[in-house]
Amino acid sequence: MKSNIIGYGSFFHKTDLKKLPAVSNSFLNGYQLFYAGRYALKYVFDALLENYDSAHIWLPQYYCPFVKEWLETAYSNLKYYDIDPFDPHAQIDYSTFSTKDIVLANNYWGLKKNTVPTGARPLIVEDHSHGWLSPGCIESEADLCIASLRKTVPLPLGGIAWKPVRSSLQLSLPQLKSLSNTHEMEVAWELVDTAMTLKANCTTEKDKTQFLKDYGKGEQFLRTTQEILPLNPDHKKVMAQALCKDYNAYKLKNWDTMLALLKGNDAFKVLPKAQGIPFGLLLAFKKEDDLKRLKQHLISKTIYPAELWPKNNIHQDYKFLLNIHIDFRYGKADIAYIASAINEWNN
């Protein structure tokens, strides 16, 4: 499905999704759509705080630094716990938390299934931003779940909060009230939508400079807007239509192709897909300098990976992650080119 665009990776270009088959949304026991995952998360936290006497909100130490900073301006009772983000089998010890706490469990890279204990436990919210429609997402037993959709779904903006069908929480998600006036998130949507359209037809460096500029302007709204704003009805319709498509079949196929071509390298390890759906080709590093050098090498080959996430101080041996996009935009020839670029890197 790749169009003639400059480079591999980065945010999605505008895409016709009619060729992708739909998948079931039966795992959603009621949901709300948002302009970003962070708004879905704040909405869920606010709903729980309003209905339950909660002591602390616990986030994983290894988490998006921008979202951590954004949430810290909204809540004074945030705390952090440690878990290995590069071990798909690592589980949270919920007995270390109070039954009055709220714990955010992250489905790291679509590889993890969170085990929810029986009996007395804290409230559990799961983030499936890098594992939308993965087994851990679909089979969740958490109280509530959220995801940033635009990491998997080719939308200008997008987030979702839902109650899993297996949730035992006696709480329904409240409806967002509509607004009559245009707000900043609608402006952000249009900016990123313009960038995606331009990227889909990009043939010159001038076009590339412009779509990056438009995208950056739209992204800035997310960094500064705290209010949870309702979706424009047109945006909501676009988001709902793109919500449950079979994006993951392409990832699995491309992951298998990539692993057959990729050579071993002492500088990094490839995270195994285990029983999950890998968000991309996930390369974990012990040394940040190795990550930076490979990243620059790939950029020189017009491959644009994502560093997930900088500014996190964790205790594990592997501390840094580079994600290389292998989603539905790419076919066999594209994967072969990316694998060749990685293999020729001399560490």
Task: Express each pLDDT in 11-22 by its tens digit.
Answer: 888 888 888 899
Average pLDDT over residues 172-180: 78
Nearest C-alpha neighbor of 130 from the set 37, 223, 235, 51: 37
Residue range 106-153, pLDDT digits in tens: 999 999 999 999 999 999 999 999 999 999 999 999 999 999 999 999
Nearest C-alpha neighbor of 347 from the set 308, 297, 281, 284: 297
**pLDDT surpasses 90 at 218:** no
Secondary structure class of 293 (helix, strand, coil) = helix
Place of tokens 């499936």: 128
Query: Which 8-state DSSP code applies to residue 134?
Result: S
Residue range 70-92, pLDDT digits in tens: 999 999 999 999 999 999 999 99
Residue range 225-259, pLDDT digits in tens: 888 999 999 999 999 999 999 999 999 999 999 99
Calculate Rg over the CA atoms of the chain. Answer: 20
- Tell me the domains of the chain and their CATH numbers: 23-164 (3.40.640.10), 246-344 (3.90.1150.10)
Residues 152, 243: Cα–Cα separation, whole Å = 10
Residue 41 carries which side chain, given as an amino acid letter? L
pLDDT confidence tier of residue 2, bands split at 50, 70 and 90: very low
Residues 209, 295: Cα–Cα separation, whole Å = 20
Q: Which two tokens stand for residue 317?
A: 């041996």
pLDDT confidence tier of residue 190, bands split at 50, 70 and 90: very high
**pLDDT surpasses 70 at 5:** no
Residue 157 carries which side chain, given as an amino acid letter? L
329: alpha, beta or left, given left = phi > 0 and alpha = psi -120 to 50?
A: alpha
